[in-house]
Structure 1
Amino acid sequence: MPARFKDLCLDANDHQALADWWCVAMGYVRKDVHEPPRDGSVRPAEWPVPLVDPAGRGPLIWVNPVAEKKAVKNRVHFDVDGDTEELLGLGATLVRRKDDEIGWDILADPEGNEFCVFAPR
C-alpha cells in the first residue's frame, strides 16, 4: 500500500474565521480546545487550525492560512449530509440547487470553497 488517507485540508485567507465557520456548520471543535496540549502551551494564531469531530467519527480537518484568493472551482471538495437552508443562514452561498441532473445542492463556504449538501438520511 503506497498511501493511506490521513487528514482533510482547507486553504483560507482568514483561517481563524473559516475554522470557526466549519465548527458551527459541522459541529466540530478546535483540537486545542478539545484536546489541550499537556504542557499548557497555546497554538499561535498564525498556525493552521486543526478541527476535530468531538464524537470521533469524522476526519481531522486542517484550516491553513494562505495569501492567495481562491480562483477556480475546487477539484476536491466536502460532501456533507445537512440542511441547505441552515447552512445558507450561517453564511454559505448557493452555487447550484438540486435539479433533474444532480440530486444534491452545491454551496460554497464564506471563502468560496465548494461543498455538496445531501439531505440527511
Structure 2
Amino acid sequence: MALRPVHVNIKALDASAVGRFWAEALGWSAYNAGVTTYVGPVGGFVWPDPVFLGIDVVPVPEAKTATKNRVHLDLAASSAAHQTELVAHLRDLGAKPVDVGQGDVPWTVLADLEGNEFCVLEPREVYRDTGPIAAIVVDCEDPRSMARFWGEAMDWTVHEVSDGQAVLRSTAGVGPYLEFLRTPGVKTVPDRVHLDLLPYPGDDKAAEVERLRALGATDLDLGQGDVAWTCLSDPEGHEFCVLAPS
C-alpha cells in the first residue's frame, strides 16, 4: 500500500489568473475544472499524469499572509542562456524578484502574481530530465524525520538523507524531485502550497488514511466541510490531502 503525489495545490484569490501564469511559465496548458484551474502538460487533459505533477490552483478568500511560504517550486534551466531567457519571460508574465535572504546565489528567486515564491535554477545535471519543474521544496526542521514519514507515505524512492536535506523521486526516475531542506524558523500559518496524494486504483482510501495516521499524520480541519478528500498534516505540520480515487 502506498500513495502517489498527483499535483501541487496552490491557493489563490484569483485562481484563473494564477493558473494562466503558471501555464505560461511552464509552457503547459490551463484547464478549468469547476472552480479550480488545473495546469498540466500540453496535449489534452490527462490526470493523473504518468510523469509530471500538475498544478491545481484553488480559489480561497484569504490573501497570502506568510512572509515566506514553507513550500515552493524550483524551475529547471537547461543552460545559462535558458535561465536568463526564462527569468525574463517570467518577469514579462508578472513575476517579481523577491529577497528571502538568499544572498549571492546562482539561482533567481521570484514570486508569482500573488506572492508565492519560486526559484529559477542555474543549469544542474541532476535536473536535466525532470521537465520544467525541477523540484517541490519543503522547508523543515528535521529532514531525516521527513524522509522517514514521506518515504513510508508515498511510493517514491528516497535518494538522499542528511541532517540538511532529504530527496525523494518517483520510483520510475521521472518527473520532479521532492526535497526537504533544513531551514531556520518554524511553521506558523497554513501552507499556501501543498501536495495532493492519490491512492492507486483498487486501493482503499480509508485504509491509506489510517496508515498515514499510524505513521504520524494528524487530522486537519481547514473548514473544508463534508468533502471527498481527507486533509492531514505531516509530523511537522505541513498540510496535504488524500484524494478519493475517481
TM-score, scaled relative to structure 1:
0.76
Provide the aligned C-alpha RMSD in A: 2.3
Paired position in structure 1 for 2:183? 66
**Which deviates the most, 109-118 or 52-61?**
52-61
Q: Report the alpha carbon displacement of residue 17 of structure 1 after superposing the two structures with TM.
A: 0.9
Question: What are the within-5 Å matches in structure 2 for residues 1-121 of structure 1?
Answer: 2=86, 4-32=132-160, 45-56=162-173, 59-82=176-199, 83-96=208-221, 99-100=225-226, 102-121=227-246
- Structure 1 residue runs of 5 or longer lacking an equivalent are 33-42
Is contact 2:228-2:244 (8 Å) kept? no
**Sequence identity of aligned pairs in percent?**
33
**Higher RCO, 1 or 2 (CA under 8 Å, sep at least 6)?**
1
The amino acid that maps onto 2:144 is Q
Q: Tell me the alpha carbon deviations over residues 47-83 of structure 1, each in whole angstroms, 9 at most, x when there is no partner.
A: 3221112133553111100121111000000000142
The amino acid that maps onto 2:169 is V
- Structure 2 residue runs of 5 or longer lacking an equivalent are 1-26, 28-85, 91-131, 200-207
SS at match of 2:228: coil
- How many residue pairs match? The answer is 109
SS at match of 2:152: helix
TM-score, scaled relative to structure 2:
0.40
CA distance in 1, matches of 2:154, 2:178: 11
SS at match of 1:27: coil
SS at match of 1:10: strand
Higher Cα Rg, which structure: 2
Return the structure number with greater strand share: 2
